[in-house]
Amino acid sequence: MSLVYVIAHGLRPMTEADLPRILQIELASYEHPWSIGNFTDSLHVGYSMWVREAEGEIMGYYVMMAAAGEAHLLNLTIAPYWRRHGLGRDLLDHCVARARDHQADSLFLEVRTSNTAAIALYHSSGFIDLAVRRAYYPTIDGREDALIMKKDLAC
């Protein structure tokens, strides 16, 4: 399957039928993954949830909530095999466009300060550092800071 084919195809809303495969990607991606319940709750409250797939294979997905002029990116994950091919940036661009569709002025997110790959993606996509929440995330042996980032959607 060529990358051109992948980029050109297959962004669609997430459904409950996707969740078993998405859980596998979560488990492969995070020490503290989202549960099936986290995804079903998000689907039921109507968050913006999109999947990138080609030929039935899920490569990545994101979850975004938007309300009262603000949007929050809650989850952005690319399956390990498909990383470093531009799919993360592509999904993030799609998320920004959907946030604008919801009339959001700003898109916020939180990321572990050790997650240099994600932070590089966000900085190069116009996010700025807003604040640090000390000891916000659990780790295997303690706690880790969260970096809060923001992208201004007005410009």
The helix or strand, by DSSP H or E, that contains position 7, with its residue range, turns out to be helix 3-8
Stretch that binds ligand COA, among 6-14, 49-57, 94-102, 112-120 (CB under 6 A): 112-120
Residues 6+ apart with CB under 8 A from 152: 105, 106, 126
Question: What pairing do the DSSP bridges indicate for beta strands 70-78 and 11-13?
Answer: unpaired
Contacts for 17 with CB less than 8 Å, ≥ 6 apart: none
What is the size of the binding site for ligand COA (CB under 6 A)?
Answer: 19
Nearest-Å Rg of the Cα atoms of the chain is: 15
Q: Is 27 in the site for ligand COA (CB under 6 A)?
A: no
Q: Compute the least distance from the CB of residue 97 to ligand COA, in Å.
A: 16
Q: Which residue is nearest to ligand COA (CB)?
A: 88
Can 110 be counted among the known catalytic residues?
yes
Please give the residues from 86 up to 105 whose contact with ligand COA meets the rule CB under 6 A.
Answer: 86-89
Residues present in the chain in total: 155
Question: Which one of residues 7, 121, 126, 144 is an interface residue with ligand COA (CB under 6 A)?
Answer: 121
**Does the CA dihedral 40-46-51-56 come out positive or negative?**
positive
**Sites for ligand COA among residues 53-82 (CB under 6 A):** 76-78
Whichever of 66 and 108 has its CB closer to ligand COA, that residue is: 108
- The Cα–Cα gap between 110 and 133 comes to 9
Q: Which of 22, 49, 51, 111 binds ligand COA (CB under 6 A)?
A: 111
Question: d(Cα 21, Cα 34) in Å, to the nearest integer?
Answer: 13
Residue 123 CB, nearest approach to ligand COA (Å): 8
* Positions marked active-site: 110, 122
- Give the binding site for ligand COA (CB under 6 A): 29, 76-78, 83-89, 111, 115-118, 120-121, 124
